[in-house]
Amino acid sequence: MVEEARVRYETRHDGQIATIRMSRERYRNALSAQMIGELDAAFEQAAADDTVRVIVLCGDGPSFSAGHDLGSPDAKAMRETRAGETMGQRYPRTRGMDVDPHLRWRRIPKPTIAMVQGSCIYAGWMLASAMDVIFAADDAQFLPTNFAYFSVPWDIGARRSMYLMYDNRFLDAQEAKEWGLVSEVVPPDQLEAATMAYAERVAAQDPFQLRMMKHSIQQMQEMQGFTPHIYSSYSDRMVRAANTAAITAEPEGGEGRRLYLSVERARAHREAGE
C-alpha cells in the first residue's frame, strides 16, 4: 500500500512563514525512515527559499509524534529490507536517519519553531528538540530516553536528565516549561494561534540579524561540545543495541501495534499517578 504524502509543506504570511506539517495522524505521526526523508526535503526547501524567514513544524491530530514507527506499512517495508543486517550496516543507516538529519535541521540558519500537542515520545522529543523554540499545548506529554540524537542533557540539564530518565516517566507541558525545554504553554485550542503570532513577530525582524543570533548561540553550545557529545552518545546507544534484553514486543494475539516496552512502563506509571 502506498501512503499519501507523509508531510505537507505550505507558506503563509506572504511567504515569510513556512509550515512543515506531519500528516500521519492515523499513526500518531510516528517517524518512519520514509517520513524522515520527506521532512528532510521540506526543511531543505524552506531553508533554500529566500522569502521564508521562519519555519514552523507541527503535526496533525491529537499527537505531535508518538516516536519511532514500529508497525505501520512503512516500518514493515523497511524491516524487510534490513533482514540479516550486520551492526556494521546498521550503524551508518541509523546514524543517517536519527542523528545526521537532526543536526542538519538544528543548523538551518533560520528560526525554527515546534508546535507540540499530545504525545511527544522519544523520536518526537528528538524532532522537537532540533527546533529553536517549542510552543506546547497544556496537554503535551514529553518522554525522553537515551535515544540516538541525545539532546536531553542540553535541553533540561544533566541532573534533571538523570532524575527524569532513571524514573522512566513523562514530563508534562508545564514542567517542561519550568525545566527549560518549552518556551510557552497554552490551551490546545490556542496553540496554533499563539505559535503563528510569535512566528509573525519573528518574521518581522531582520533575517540576517536573526541568523547571526542563532549562529552565536549555537557556537556557544559547540564550544561546550554539543555535536561531539551527540556523536559519542550515538555510539553508546549502538553498544546498548547489542544488549540481548528485548526492548519491543508484539501485541497479544499478534494484532495491533508493536509495543515499545519502556514506553508502556512509563504509561503505566502515569496512569498510576506515580
Which cell numbers in the block locate residue 57? 513544524
Alpha-carbon distance of 116 to 44, in angstroms, equals 21
Instruction: Give the per-residue pLDDT at 151.
Output: 98
Domains in the chain, CATH or no CATH each: 7-271 (3.90.226.10)
CA distances (Å), 76 to each of 33, 66, 176, 252, in order? 11, 17, 33, 18
Instruction: Give the per-residue pLDDT at 199.
Output: 98
CB within 8 Å of 40: residues ≥ 6 apart: 101, 104, 105
Q: For each successive 10 residues of the chain (274 residues), what is the average pLDDT?
A: 80 98 96 96 98 98 94 85 81 91 98 98 97 98 95 98 96 98 98 98 98 98 98 90 69 68 82 79
Alpha-carbon distance of 97 to 200, in angstroms, equals 31
* Cβ neighbours around 264 below 10 Å, total: 12
Instruction: Give the per-residue pLDDT at 1.
Output: 45
Instruction: Give the per-residue pLDDT at 256.
Output: 64
Beta bridge partners of 8: 21
Cα angle for residues 129, 150, 126 (degrees, 5° grid): 30
Task: Please answer whether residues 145 and 90 qualify as being in contact, where contact means their C-beta atoms are separated by less than 8 angstroms.
Answer: no
CB within 8 Å of 156: residues ≥ 6 apart: 164, 171, 176, 179, 180, 181
CA distances (Å), 120 to each of 28, 38, 66, 170, 244, in order? 10, 19, 6, 9, 27
